[in-house]
Amino acid sequence: MASRKEGTGSTATSSSSTAGAAGKGKGKGGSGDSAVKQVQIDGLVVLKIIKHYQEEGQGTEVVQGVLLGLVVEDRLEITNCFPFPQHTEDDADFDEVQYQMEMMRSLRHVNIDHLHVGWYQSTYYGSFVTRALLDSQFSYQHAIEESVVLIYDPIKTAQGSLSLKAYRLTPKLMEVCKEKDFSPEALKKANITFEYMFEEVPIVIKNSHLINVLMWELEKKSAVADKHELLSLASSNHLGKNLQLLMDRVDEMSQDIVKYNTYMRNTSKQQQQKHQQRRQQENMQRQSRGEPPLPEEDLSKLFKPPQPPARMDSLLIAGQINTYCQNIKEFTAQNLGKLFMAQALQEYNN
Amino acid sequence: MATPAVPVAVDMEFAKNMYELHKKVSPNELILGWYATGHDITEHSVLIHEYYSREAPNPIHLTVDTSLQNGRMSIKAYVSTLMGVPGRTMGVMFTPLTVKYAYYDTERIGVDLIMKTCFSPNRVIGLSSDLQQVGGASARIQDALSTVLQYAEDVLSGKVSADNTVGRFLMSLVNQVPKIVPDDFETMLNSNINDLLMVTYLANLTQSQIALNEKLVNL
């Protein structure tokens, strides 16, 4: 991931047109409000992302790619994208930055938008709130103000409805990441809760007229039967998997809480050090005897205070748990609707 | 071969570069042919096709008519075949192929969604929540059912002659609703609903728990 960070940094500096476009579109972006209110995606991008996962993604591996487009007022228009090769550990001489530069140069030749506006990633059952994603999105958002990350969930899509979400880091989280200070005090000062880490940006899909003509043509030529996966009742497997992942995360969270509790206990024990009291008593005795009091040594020199555990990980875990819970709730709402429909059908039958 | 009146250039360097880049992502894909927008095949196509016959054995040429002649965007495919008298001047002819469209599941779902932009005024659609999608899907089935009902009524009233195959399809359709003993169905339904309610309750509980943890940590 480190080379990708450098890549986006150098991309932003070398293609100065990116900064220009971002600057033109910024407008009220600097007021602390989010710079992007809506993401407008071309149909082409959606299909390309689906295709990329279908062909190159297996199991829990994620596929990633770069989004290209423009910023118009407070809308982020994504007009094209290209996939990123998988990270192969044995192919160490593969240069990510060069690949990106080559790709963007070539696309400029055929008059495709070549400005970086974000990146996309596929996810496995909704588990995308990781440190890696945070780092990547931070470096993108730092270089390009309006960038988003599109999360595509292929398994949920296969169940009947396209699952594509756009996320950005909230301004507060951006500040914290800039400082690179993840200790509890800094996070408490910034007052970040797990709900306020990522903000979701609404997505709309827009097509050109020519594409609409193509759609009509396709509909005529290939009447593919609708399989109605959306209305299938047998989707408890998906729910089971989600719950399994949720349980794993909750376990991690509880471990984290135990660590934090031990830390708190250690600090409080230290602060109540008998040493301090003995020193004070000795000082009083010495004063009563008229001798100069012993200097109260700084405790931190004698006993090293325990390290506060990094709070970023637990924040990420909490955010992930939250995402899982949201997914589960959406899923149950859907299924309840379907069950009631089935009930109505059966009642009519009898 | 007649020399074309206007010379055409293909940036072979560019094509090679793009193919190299593409191979980094999908190493198993090969060049199958080339496409061009336009209504028909021109003399230039012959030259370009010859170039591509070096890249791929028996390349395919695809034309997409974006100028919308005949009011349709016709998509056609061709392969080149030799023609002429053997031993003497040989020419090249493009023979048309039948074009079929195949989808895999997720692609079809994506295309269905994108197709909805055809029906909205400014060609824009948003992504809807899950329950709304179930509503949309059941509305589609309702439309299909009303078409079928209309057909059945027409046949009954004698407007349309009865077709045996259609009748058989309809009968199998009606028989597909499973006949379950009402008590069994009741228990099945209730247990499923209980499961879902329990899971919703657990999810809400977990969310409030982590919110509480957040508050305690930040004390």
| Complete DSSP assignment for A90-130 | T-TT--HHHHHHHHHHHHHHTT----EEEEEEE-STT----
Structure tokens at B149: 């009902």
- Which member of B26, B110, B122 has the closest CB to residue A46? B110
> pLDDT by residue (tens digit) across A35-81?
778 888 888 888 888 888 888 877 777 888 889 888 888 888 888 88
Length of chain A: 350
Residue A165 backbone phi and psi in degrees, to 5: -130, 145
- Beta carbons of B138 and A231 less than 8 Å apart: yes
Residue of chain A with shortest Cα separation from B72? A217
Q: Do residues B94 and A38 lie in contact, with contact meaning Cβ atoms separated by under 8 Å?
A: no
- Beta carbons of A219 and B115 less than 8 Å apart: yes
pLDDT at A274: 61
Compute the distance between CA of residue A127 and CA of residue B163 in angstroms, rounded to an integer.
52
Residue B144 has pLDDT above 80, yes or no: yes
DSSP 3-state of A95? coil
- Which member of A102, A188, A333 has the closest CB to residue B130? A333
CB atoms within 10 A of CB B1: 11
Output the CA angle A195-A198-A200, nearest 5 degrees: 105
Compute the distance between CA of residue A337 and CA of residue A233 in angstroms, rounded to an integer.
10
Q: What is the DSSP letter of B70?
A: G
DSSP 3-state of A144? coil
Residue of chain A with shortest Cα separation from B198? A332
Low-confidence ranges of chain A (pLDDT < 70): 1-34, 87-94, 180-190, 222-227, 273-275, 291-306, 349-350
Global pTM reads 0.78
A-chain residues near B207 (CB < 8 A) = 321-322, 325
Residue of chain B with shortest Cα separation from A260? B217
Query: Within an 8 Å CB–CB cutoff, is residue B214 touching chain A?
Result: yes
> pLDDT by residue (tens digit) across B176-197?
877 778 788 888 888 888 988 9
Q: Do residues A242 and A331 lie in contact, with contact meaning Cβ atoms separated by under 8 Å?
A: yes
The helix or strand, by DSSP H or E, that contains position A311, with its residue range, turns out to be: none
pLDDT at B125: 67
Residue B2 has pLDDT above 60, yes or no: no
pLDDT at A30: 34
- Which member of A202, A328, A341 has the closest CB to residue B138? A341
